[in-house]
Amino acid sequence: MFYMFFIFFTYKQLNTYWKENNVYKPSILLGISTALAITGYIQAQRILLIDEPVVIDNYLLLSHAAVVGGLLLLLIIILTFYLLGRSPRSHRVLFQVILLAGIGIFPTSYVELKSINHAFDKEEPNIYETLVLDRKKFTSRKGTIHYLYTENWNNSNVSQKIRVPYIIYSKANVGAKLILCQKPGALGYRWLDKIIVTQDLDQPPQQVLCRTSLNQEIIENLDQNQVKSLQALYRKYDAKKNGSE
């Protein structure tokens, strides 16, 4: 009984202290900002370390992420002034909020826009062929990043730089032909759903390569009968889909 009374009394005292001194308001703001900073750090590591699908319109995505991040940061600043007003600690808290939230909000905005662009893109891919002009890798303490430099398939004279997983990098020698399955993106940022090295393939139909969910190693081992079976399955699927519409 004594312990219950002690806990209740302590809770009441702390609750009164927090209300009288407005401790909970800066704590909430700093908690949100810290969570954003941690999330942003995780997302930044994800960008650096994981070979995610290549975004062709990456500069457009970056600019939109900067706008979204800036608007969210402005919203947090307004919320800070609204909750703290002109209290003596408001400027100190505001500095910490801007510092912590600013670190995390921009990489988080970038990754979220990129994820939405990929996840909700239900369009069929456009198929392009290009040649590997050069290949480079960059090694750091955190790992190795692999790049292919290819002819630009989007009607530009500038070569295209593509970040690829090691399995594709190891097979794509200079002069190798790539099949690129490019999708428009739900938010309008074009991206590569699949990159296929064809130098060792017996030239199966490109549409089959882009539509199938099989990985590179399995595709390379397909024989002509299996390719024809895949084509037949897709024809049946398309016929059924068009019939239902």
pLDDT tier for residue 237 given thresholds of 50, 70 and 90 = low
Cα–Cα dist 114/90, whole Å: 35
Cα–Cα dist 183/125, whole Å: 5
For the stretch 10-23, pLDDT in tens is: 445 445 544 544 66
With beta carbons less than 8 A apart as the criterion, state whether 53 and 193 touch: yes
Q: The domain 126-244: what is its CATH number?
A: 2.40.50
Calculate the average pLDDT of the chain.
76
Mean pLDDT across 173-198: 87
Lowest mean pLDDT among 17-31, 145-159, 185-199: 17-31
For the stretch 57-86, pLDDT in tens is: 889 999 999 999 999 999 988 888 887 777
In the predicted model, is pLDDT for residue 242 greater than 70? Answer: no
Rounded-to-10 torsion of CA 199, 200, 206, 209: -130
pLDDT tier for residue 189 given thresholds of 50, 70 and 90 = very high
Lowest mean pLDDT among 24-28, 110-114, 180-184: 24-28
56: DSSP letter = T
Across 176-215, b (16+ Cβ under 10 Å) vs e yields bbbbbbbbbbbbebbbbbbbbbbeebeebebebbbbbebe
In the predicted model, is pLDDT for residue 142 greater than 60? Answer: yes
Q: Strand ranges (DSSP E) for the chain?
A: 126-140, 143-150, 160-164, 177-183, 191-197
In the predicted model, is pLDDT for residue 36 greater than 60? Answer: yes
Lowest mean pLDDT among 21-35, 87-101, 183-197: 21-35
Mean pLDDT across 210-218: 61
Per DSSP, the residues of 94-127 read: HHHHHHHHHHHHHHHHHHHHHHHHHHT--SPPEE
Domain boundaries, the chain: 2-119, 126-244
Instruction: Look up the pTM and report it.
Output: 0.74
